[in-house]
Amino acid sequence: MLGHLPIHSFTHSPIDSSAKVGHETEAGAARGGGTVTFGLVFALCCPMKYYKLTAALLVAASAAHAAPPTPGQLIYQKNCARCHGRDGRLGLNGAHDLTKSNLNAFGRTYLVTNGMGKMPSFQKTLTPAQVAQVVAYSQTLK
């Protein structure tokens, strides 16, 4: 796959092949860090007519290195997204739009723990630490 070519394979590159670019370490290369290096080298060395391909490679590389989901996000996806939606706006079964909620962390913790209306209690499903994680994640939904 082109994205994993080592930097020294570009013999006409204006970049010093001994230089480390981005997260080009042996650990980074093992995780696919060479994709970013390839995209950068490609962007610097190729004619402008390939700018769309270069942009696509860089977008793919950044998506491959996106931060992993937080524990709160995983708990939300498993327990909350079916009614509130992945972005907090779905509103199935009377679920509130979390992006418009004016509840602070205390209020959200109470609702997740005890439930209200059609929302079930998660007191026996989630630990207090997991409740805190999902509450913190829910506050990021805007």
Looking at residue 69, what is its pLDDT?
Answer: 94
Domains of the chain, first to last:
2-64 (no CATH), 71-138 (1.10.760.10)
Alpha-carbon distance of 32 to 96, in angstroms, equals 40
> What tokens does 19 get?
């230089």
N residues, the chain: 142
- Rounded to two decimals, the pTM is 0.56
8-53 per-position pLDDT tens digit:
444 444 444 444 444 444 444 444 444 455 555 555 665 666 666 6
Report d(CA 39, CA 2) in Å as an integer.
10
Cα radius of gyration (the chain): 22
What value does the mean pLDDT take over residues 62-79? 88
